[in-house]
Structure 1
């Protein structure tokens, strides 16, 4: 690599760790820069300042925040003012207000640089930071979804999106009312005039219960159909392993483990099976655990049409009631999937684990396996947690192996707890659909220890692989999770204390403190609320080419290795591992992987986030469709969050809606220090965790996927 390239890698790595200003000379010393790197320092520093990765002013270098700059995505209100949500922040309470005269042409979705006007601490409770848009770093996609509606005021068909109408470029009369569309914003309207958009895709009519989910997926860049060149390659792949291929692979050194008793554990509707397990007890009392992962890299060649599309998608997506795979079904459900009674190629990690859960030895190799039996999480639950005679009889021949798995999983879980790993086992929202895709129920769902058995094995395997290849010092993609920010921990501590719980918040927070808090609220009415707030106080896990540790798991080394059918980072490191198993990488290959590992990690983190947002929005949509029938009905709920404009109330089935303060018969002040709201005249106080009876479902908006509640006393 050139001095420019090596210096850029070093400075980008420094940017992930830098919090404050340091002198340029100190940077030279810290990074041990060569003369050739120093010669190009100004050029590289200017580039990274333009990108707002770092900021250089004179002889000082620092992160943007240290110079009172914030980088984030902007949301522009139809009245012209805006809010900027800083990168890696999840809450509107941390957003920055931008006056309409300071938006400077930015549009919703743009990544912007904001200069903070009032960088000091708030002068009064609830005071927001205010900023000025200095530049647009990256223009947003300019795309949004909406519904074609008749506007009675403007006497024409327009696109309605988030309560805002848009003029349609071209002949709108050819469209039908009720179409769900993807649009591109052409002109931002100046209130009260609407903006102008161009329709880029007509998804379908909103009367079709599947249109909403398809629209959300399309908006986030996920489509179910694959390009023709991808399908052509997929059609040429074998669907079964023939004997000639098996013998060829064995001659190359692949191990035949088809004689080992092998099991897969998945949910009832899983068709893309990434992993299989073998386990036995050794003479010394240790466990021999085999985690065998589909050898996707054998079939998906780097640079092929399938590989390019898989990288573009980055991940499989699991919206309510369907799957959008990263790979065509010929691979994901076919030749790569570890289906029962089928010979399959795998990449195996076999670990000797002692009675304390420590890996004392391990081996990684390419293998050929054949799964003897498969069992679902529900069936496992009905063996160990809620015994069912019929299930016990069905799996009677395998109970000894399943019991070994359960015992080892308990050991590994205890090991995790001892080191202080955080376990967010919070109730999730489960939406059940009918055959046509319409929601018929919404309920709280919590995973059981049956699910955790496989999770414990995958965590151990991912850790083992990450540590081994870290010491090989080869290009790699790690799964990292940074420590939470001090401000968030201070705020969380105050809120938790106000709710009557203890949270030991020190200058150097340890995940064990957070897990102690979660243990103290288990099965309490406030569990989901405090748990959710704690989760939102964490940094987001991401992919990086540098091994920066995983705070939530309390691990120094961690990667994603165990799901290459549905996650591209896993496929990327499988290729590295296979190179090393076959004699290592030459200098040219290692240099190429090192050059692109950081770029790949960033792209794949973005695609993971897009998939998560799409899945969440799909749940929100189906929840709204379900709750529409209950408009005007009353429920009991609990206050889950409070903001300056209202409070969010969660019902027992996990459905959340907003009670606007404007709908109440008093003016309410919001105190962010105590996360309470109090009425100016009546003195009524609302707190997080407070139970509310007779909460009325006031309005369910399917377009914005939001629910508004009202209180009977106004």
Structure 2
């Protein structure tokens, strides 16, 4: 978040976010009315060399972008977020050069004498920037590591690791601290903790998970109610505030789940070992015990430090089969465990129903997973099924997170909240206009109940993509902060992350407060300034981790598709702009802009901002957000990490305008050259799409 800088009321300083196409977003300071801070949009031409995460000085401009958002311009880079970059090495004029991946800089970077570090032309290398390029000079750097040929196994992974500055190896002092913490752990000693080792307790995770940080117990009460036990790995027992483990965990902020590799927040001795809730092993936990009425109303909450022994570890697929027919597993799964799973399913359905009755939202967007072979190459791409076994765990994680946030809020503490600001009224009105063009009626777009009803009604039909992608574009990004801003999608006033301390630093911070409460001590709040700093660093670490995951998936998919040039694939329109449509492969989720000039060389396309459509004046051929289309793979550029699609001539519905009402709201784009082409400005980048996804982490309520 920015702060006011010297030079007048329109000057601000702080970190900038740079999109893949070079534009930027800058978060302004908090508003005096207590509302969520606003953002400045910065054109790529006005970033002036600022990179993602750089601390910059910006000036707020008088103009606004198309959607009404304010614009800004970088006037100075104050601090670089990184000086290391990855790219392809080549030689020219007896000098070594590196063209940085994704065309981050307009020209190549000089790196001195040829063959430094044994580099060969075409090698993927890491460079340290000595001087950044500006308008008057090219950049200069020095080679620090040669990764190898692009098509060699593991080079794509190392490329992303270096590009995003991910900390893979743990320093010796951190590993020593982990060994020291481990030496003090004894499974036979549970003194000072409530002994829950006799309870029937299960974990439910993806089949390939290794860090198990949550387990569930559930008992029926005499009055028909329930006592839910959400038992979370007590990482705070091993990681003391300010120690080497804590400092490293805070720097990393989160575990990063790359295809084929997990980069943990904590050394594996703790993350996959002593803290992980392994089957049949005694483990320390911080337990949230929540009493519900038969109708799912919270009647009481208690927090305690305890010890458990997990009775049975399950994968999601196993639980789905058991819930479908519990008796079929007689003899394979113990009766108490089967009964527990059935009761968990029953309570989760009650909680889920109450949550949506209260106004919670859930988008229906596909999640894609890639499978790799032994060489790290894409072997298969498939859609992840989010069934009721996932929903069981999601509801219980949400219940625990909500209970913890309420406890801390009721005590008046400043803590690290997970907030999701409400979308702007103008964005929701625009969404209502868009779906009306699809044939849906949305009279109250500000009503979450009305929005969820619309999502559900569209979910089984061909317009599901259109509705969900359009609503996603209306949402703001969730973040960590000390500010009480609520969580829009969850319809919650108070929310935080508590359930994943092995892999998220914010959860560990919350654990320390709850551990104090559980032991009868007075918890210490963070203080406003610390909450802002910590929230910002954790939010940036989360985004860096997600961006790295997406970047490696994209890179592997581009390698996968490089040999399929000329093929036609199914896709969906995920963005519509005046200059073209952004298409995303349905089975292979890579995105590319199909420029308006490539849609039809003999037509002129009108852009309707409200209905998010491009419509040809002559043919009536139209492309709308969410439309299914077919595109041909024309080219794959590994330097730029991009793919070029060509729209199939059979794609695009015929939607002819019936009058001037649409024409008033449209602006034209000519697909073929015209005599006045030189006077017509065109944008060069696509809008940033917001939203989240994940593998192990993405289907947990705590991930929101």
Q: TM > 0.5 between the two?
A: yes
Q: Which residue of 1 aligns with 2:189?
A: 245
Q: Which residue of 1 aligns with 2:341?
A: 402
DSSP 3-state at the match of 1:245: coil
Answer yes or no: is 1:514 the counterpart of 2:514: no
CA root-mean-square deviation: 3.4
Instruction: Give 1 or 2: higher helix fraction.
Output: 1
Q: Which residue of 1 aligns with 2:513?
A: 576
Q: Which residue of 2 aligns with 1:537?
A: 474
Deviation string for 1:81-135 (max 9, x for gaps)?
x7433449xxxx9954365xx666656764545545553686xxx9998754444
Q: Which residue of 1 aligns with 2:380?
A: 441
Q: Which residue of 2 aligns with 1:44?
A: none
Correspondent of 2:251 among 294, 312, 332: 312
For residues 274-673 of structure 1, the aligned pairs below 5 Å read: 274-385=213-324, 387=325, 391=329, 393-397=331-335, 398-506=337-445, 509-585=446-522, 590=524, 596-655=530-589, 656-664=591-599, 665-666=601-602, 668-673=605-610
When residues 475 and 639 of structure 1 are mapped into structure 2, their CA distance, relative to the original with a 3 A threshold, is closer
For residues 46-61 of structure 1, the aligned pairs below 5 Å read: 48-50=3-5, 57=9
Distance in 1, Cα, partners of 2:141 & 2:326: 58
When residues 643 and 301 of structure 1 are mapped into structure 2, their CA distance, relative to the original with a 3 A threshold, is same
DSSP 3-state at the match of 1:213: helix
When residues 479 and 281 of structure 1 are mapped into structure 2, their CA distance, relative to the original with a 3 A threshold, is same
Distance in 2, Cα, partners of 1:279 & 1:232: 38
Q: Which residue of 1 aligns with 2:111?
A: 169
For residues 260-275 of structure 1, the aligned pairs below 5 Å read: 260-275=199-214
Q: Which residue of 1 aligns with 2:658?
A: none
- My pick for the range that moved more, 470-479 or 496-505, is 496-505
DSSP 3-state at the match of 2:82: coil
Deviation string for 1:632-686 (max 9, x for gaps)?
1112333222123321223331523332224341454533233222446656433
Distance in 2, Cα, partners of 1:289 & 1:141: 46
- 1:444 deviation in Å? 2.5
Structure 1 contact 168–199 (Cα < 8 Å) conserved: no
- 1:374 deviation in Å? 1.1
Q: Which residue of 1 aligns with 2:659?
A: none
DSSP 3-state at the match of 1:170: coil
Structure 1 contact 98–131 (Cα < 8 Å) conserved: no
DSSP 3-state at the match of 1:674: coil
Q: Which residue of 1 aligns with 2:169?
A: 225
5+ residue gaps, structure 1, are: 1-11, 16-47, 58-63
Distance in 1, Cα, partners of 2:15 & 2:167: 30
- 1:367 deviation in Å? 0.5
Structure 1 contact 499–689 (Cα < 8 Å) conserved: no
When residues 144 and 49 of structure 1 are mapped into structure 2, their CA distance, relative to the original with a 3 A threshold, is same
Distance in 1, Cα, partners of 2:20 & 2:309: 55
When residues 558 and 160 of structure 1 are mapped into structure 2, their CA distance, relative to the original with a 3 A threshold, is closer
Deviation string for 1:117-176 (max 9, x for gaps)?
553686xxx99987544444654434432122456x998653342245413322232312
Structure 1 contact 158–165 (Cα < 8 Å) conserved: no
- 1:269 deviation in Å? 0.9
Q: Which residue of 2 aligns with 1:7?
A: none
Structure 1 contact 488–537 (Cα < 8 Å) conserved: yes
Q: Which residue of 1 aligns with 2:643?
A: 707
When residues 637 and 592 of structure 1 are mapped into structure 2, their CA distance, relative to the original with a 3 A threshold, is closer
- 1:199 deviation in Å? 3.4
- 1:226 deviation in Å? 0.8
Distance in 2, Cα, partners of 1:130 & 1:601: 25
- 1:461 deviation in Å? 0.7
- My pick for the range that moved more, 290-299 or 200-209, is 200-209
Q: Which residue of 2 aligns with 1:3?
A: none
DSSP 3-state at the match of 2:4: helix
DSSP 3-state at the match of 1:442: strand
For residues 49-88 of structure 1, the aligned pairs below 5 Å read: 49-50=4-5, 57=9, 72-73=16-17, 83-87=23-27
When residues 346 and 486 of structure 1 are mapped into structure 2, their CA distance, relative to the original with a 3 A threshold, is same
Q: Which residue of 1 aligns with 2:158?
A: 214
Distance in 1, Cα, partners of 2:355 & 2:8: 42
When residues 571 and 591 of structure 1 are mapped into structure 2, their CA distance, relative to the original with a 3 A threshold, is closer
- 1:203 deviation in Å? 3.6
Distance in 1, Cα, partners of 2:229 & 2:202: 11
Distance in 2, Cα, partners of 1:261 & 1:270: 21
- My pick for the range that moved more, 653-662 or 443-452, is 653-662
For residues 23-38 of structure 1, the aligned pairs below 5 Å read: none
Structure 2 contact 147–158 (Cα < 8 Å) conserved: yes
- My pick for the range that moved more, 154-163 or 330-339, is 154-163
Structure 2 contact 370–381 (Cα < 8 Å) conserved: yes
Deviation string for 1:388-421 (max 9, x for gaps)?
9875652252211110000001001101110010
Answer yes or no: is 1:145 the counterpart of 2:145: no
TM-score of the aligned structures, taking structure 2 as reference length: 0.82
Distance in 1, Cα, partners of 2:533 & 2:49: 29
Distance in 2, Cα, partners of 1:646 & 1:555: 38
Q: Which residue of 2 aligns with 1:9?
A: none
When residues 476 and 147 of structure 1 are mapped into structure 2, their CA distance, relative to the original with a 3 A threshold, is same
Deviation string for 1:231-276 (max 9, x for gaps)?
1122233379536633xxx2x3x11111111111111111111011
When residues 169 and 370 of structure 1 are mapped into structure 2, their CA distance, relative to the original with a 3 A threshold, is same
Deviation string for 1:331-360 (max 9, x for gaps)?
011110110111111111111111222110
Distance in 1, Cα, partners of 2:597 & 2:131: 31
For residues 2-17 of structure 1, the aligned pairs below 5 Å read: none
- 1:223 deviation in Å? 2.7
